[in-house]
Amino acid sequence: MTEQSEDAGVIEVLVERLEKLRLPRALALKEKVDRGERLGDEDVAFLERVFADAKRVKPLLDKHPKYESLAVKVIHLYKSITEKALENEKQA
């Protein structure tokens, strides 16, 4: 298997995981914090896993810049979740 085809396989799995698991959960968290609710331990653990995974995936994204706009949109979503969650914590 070539590096290019291996990358393509990894990217396919990452996009599928984003579509089926990560994005629905992130959108649910966004709704939660937008309602003024605080994140629970499970929510925080999920976000920690997402950020850790993002660090591991960055070299792959650097090699495949066509996915940059998708990555930026996803990062912006997680940034807005964490900012609002912090605001909710401060108000609690």
pLDDT in tens, 32-88: 999 999 999 999 999 999 999 999 999 999 999 999 999 999 999 999 999 999 999
Residue with tokens 């629970």: 40
Tokens of 6: 């291996």
pTM, entire model: 0.90
C-alpha distance from residue 82 to each of 23, 29, 41, 62, 63 (Å): 15, 9, 13, 24, 28
DSSP 8-29: HHHHHHHHHHIIIIIHHHHHHH
Tokens of 60: 């792959």
